[in-house]
């Protein structure tokens, strides 16, 4: 008989039977908990693995360059977001004064985790989340852009 353990997600904590094939099975199979595990893993990785951090920053930078109008459109659509974000920016500025390391991470994808959590306005959290980590896809697109044969963004004009 397998021993039940508690899910490591503090919002869940339900008992489940871990899969014996997975050595470090700490989260149950609910989608919410799988997401929690992924976020937790990513945030730990960002803190502890400089290569991963660099890679994520480059991916994010690459994504930003290919989607320059994304945030413009987003802001136009949600004017409250701009006000809200201005407040958050003040907080971030304060944190930046407190810690140079944190500021480094703030200026990249991590800020998109922090913003949505505080506002129901930004229910699109998950979509932003997944868009921040298109590492492989982004590299492929970048390569396609550089050879000049294809363009990653559909253009309406000539
Ligand atoms: Zn769980």
Find the 17 Cα to ligand 1 centroid distance in Å: 11
Give the confidence band of 20 by pLDDT, cuts at 50, 70, 90. Answer: confident
pLDDT recorded at residue 134: 46
Q: Are residues 60 and 78 in the same domain?
A: no
Among residues 65, 40, 53, which one has the least CA distance to residue 106?
53
DSSP 12-26: T--EE---TT-TT--
| Number of domains into which the chain is organized | 2
What does the pLDDT look like over 32-63, one tens digit per residue? Answer: 999 999 999 999 999 999 999 999 999 999 99
Find the 26 Cα to ligand 1 centroid distance in Å: 9
Q: Using the 8-state DSSP alphabet, how is residue 2 labeled?
A: P
Q: Are residues 35 and 86 in the same domain?
A: no
Residue 148 has pLDDT above 70, yes or no: no
Find the 36 Cα to ligand 1 centroid distance in Å: 9
Q: Are residues 73 and 61 in the same domain?
A: no
The three-point CA angle 58-71-134 to 5° equals 35
Q: Is residue 114 part of a domain?
A: no
Residue 109 has pLDDT above 70, yes or no: no
Give the confidence band of 140 by pLDDT, cuts at 50, 70, 90. Answer: very low
Q: Are residues 19 and 56 in the same domain?
A: yes
| Structural domain span for residue 73 | 69-100
Q: Are residues 3 and 64 in the same domain?
A: yes
pTM: 0.45
Question: What protein residues have CB closer than 5 angstroms to ion ligand 1?
Answer: 7, 9, 12, 28, 30, 33
Find the 152 Cα to ligand 1 centroid distance in Å: 38
Find the 39 Cα to ligand 1 centroid distance in Å: 14
Q: Are residues 75 and 15 in the same domain?
A: no
């Amino acid at each position: 008989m397998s021993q039940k353990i508690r899910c490591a997600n503090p919002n869940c904590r339900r008992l489940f039977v871990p899969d014996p094939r997975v050595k470090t099975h700490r989260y149950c199979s609910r989608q919410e908990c799988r997401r929690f595990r992924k976020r937790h893993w990513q945030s730990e990785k960002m803190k502890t693995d400089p290569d991963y951090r660099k890679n994520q920053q480059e991916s994010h930078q690459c994504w930003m360059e290919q989607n320059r109008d994304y945030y413009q459109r987003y802001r136009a659509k949600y004017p409250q977001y701009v006000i809200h974000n201005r407040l958050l920016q003040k907080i971030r500025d304060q944190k930046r004064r407190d810690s140079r390391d944190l500021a480094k991470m703030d200026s990249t994808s991590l800020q998109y985790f922090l913003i949505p959590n505080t506002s129901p306005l930004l229910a699109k959290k998950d979509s932003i989340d997944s868009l921040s980590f298109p590492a492989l896809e982004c590299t492929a697109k970048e390569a396609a852009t550089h050879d000049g044969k294809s363009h990653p963004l559909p253009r309406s004009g000539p």
